[in-house]
Amino acid sequence: MCSVLQIAVLTLVFCSVHSFTIQSYFPSTGNSIDDDEFSVSTLIEKANANVGMLLSVVMFGDIVVYTGLQNADPCTARGCLWPKSSDGNVYVPYRISNEYSQRERDTIIQGLQSFSRCTCIRFTPRRNQRDFVDIQCRSGCYSFVGRRGNGQVLSLNRRGCVYHSIIQHELLHALGFNHEQTRSDRDEHVRILLQNVIRGTEHNFWKIQNSRNLGTPYDYNSVMHYGRYAFSSNGQPTIVPVPNPDVSIGRANQMSPTDILRVNRLYGCSTYHLLLFLLLTHLHTINMPSIYFISTYLTSMLATYLSTNEPTTLPVFFPEAYLPTSLTQPSKLFVCLLSLPCYLEAYNVLA
């Protein structure tokens, strides 16, 4: 066990280095999405043009359902969830096709690993498990909703689907999540203009009456939300926010804090993961984190690390993408140094 002095010195070094190293919490090698033309739903819609004609399935945007099962439960019961392990994590086996380039493969793996930073979901390479997510380069971007048994295909076509946001979007489907605008309470937050929707694609806007909302508010910033012009037949909006029609929708380039919270709630992740989520939200919405909040979070985090030796814990103490951009480098150093009492407290608790 390290001495108190060693912990103090390591903390100072870590904070000094980290405060001058700008890194994204969710790495984004590969394509970037900055424009309405490249919103998640627009990219998926373009990539999935005519895909349904090639499959023995019905396409709901990027959700696939086997023909004849169109009215099947859209994963609103716990039976379609991935099982939780005795250690509190949810291990989801995956296999990635060899068709991808190394860069594309790295981008996909980063999307898979992004879940382990804020949730108890652990996407792990498949060994011999029966049920797994089979990531393939098929025609388009699509996934089944929830665990379906055996190798369930999650398609990420090399031309149009290997974006960080789309990867997270499809993985959320595989975990059991539907599109945000299909929520049972969606009519309170958006207006669907079916007169502008391409004929024959109206099913993409069906509402799920018993959707699992998990006690969370409607989220315009969810990576699962369609864009304003999704499936438009005439260039006019198909989804308009209410009461403020000018609210931006469908522009997310990664999971929102609410997306992360829902994963934690759906799979009953531990307090540690919820603390991490709350920290990210806190740092994202204020100019200076409170000492008490930082202390509570870091004490829990270090205690978890020292007791489990999880290698993914320490590197995400201060995800810089969630620090306010107004913070100067010295301010970041100051914020990080606030954690020193937490390290000492955790050391005393676990010694």
Task: Give pLDDT tens digits for 53-99.
Answer: 445 454 566 776 654 444 344 565 567 899 999 999 999 999 999 99
Instruction: List the one residue out of 226, 230, 176, 221 whose CA is nearest residue 198.
Output: 230
Give, to the nearest 10 degrees, the angle between helix 4-19 and helix 329-337: 160
Strands 132-136 and 121-125, by their bridges, are unpaired
pLDDT digits (tens, 9 = 90+) for 96-113: 999 999 999 999 999 999
Q: Is the pLDDT of residue 213 over 60?
A: yes
From 223, 300, 226, 301, select the one nearest 263 (Cα to Cα): 223
123-137 b/e with 16+ CB inside 10 Å = b?
beebeeeeebbbbbb
170 flagged as catalytic: yes
Which alpha helices (H) appear in 97-181, and where do they start and end? 102-113, 164-175
In this structure, the strands spanning 121-125 and 63-66 are unpaired
Q: Look at residue 344 and tell me whether its pLDDT is greater than 50.
A: no
Which residues are documented as binding site? 169, 173, 179
pLDDT of residue 254 exceeding 70: yes
Q: What average pLDDT score do residues 232-254 get?
A: 93
Active-site hit among 45, 104, 170, 180: 170
198 CB neighbour count, 10 Å cutoff: 14
The H or E element that residue 151 is part of is strand 151-156
Question: Poorest-confidence range of 42-51, 108-117, 139-148?
Answer: 42-51
| Residue that wins the pLDDT comparison between 6 and 209 | 209
pLDDT tens digits for range 157-167: 998 899 999 99
Q: Of the candidates 324, 341, 307, 213, which has an alpha carbon nearest to the alpha carbon of residue 266?
A: 213
Confidence of residue 44 (pLDDT cuts 50, 70, 90): confident
Return the pLDDT at 153. Answer: 93
Spell out the alpha helix ranges (H) of the chain.
4-19, 40-47, 102-113, 164-175, 257-266, 271-285, 291-308, 329-337, 340-350
Does 286 have pLDDT greater than 60? no
Query: Is residue 26 a contact partner of residue 143, using CB atoms and an 8 Å limit?
Result: no
The residue whose two tokens read 């399935």 is 57
pTM of the prediction? 0.69
pLDDT of the residue at 59: 55
Binding-site annotation: residue ranges for Zn(2+): 169, 173, 179
pLDDT at 273 over 60: no
Instruction: Round to whole Å and give the CA distance between 103 and 320.
Output: 24
Taken in order of first residue, the domains within the chain and their CATH numbers are 4-26+270-350 (no CATH), 28-254 (3.40.390.10)
The gap from C-alpha 137 to its chain's centroid, in whole angstroms, comes to 21
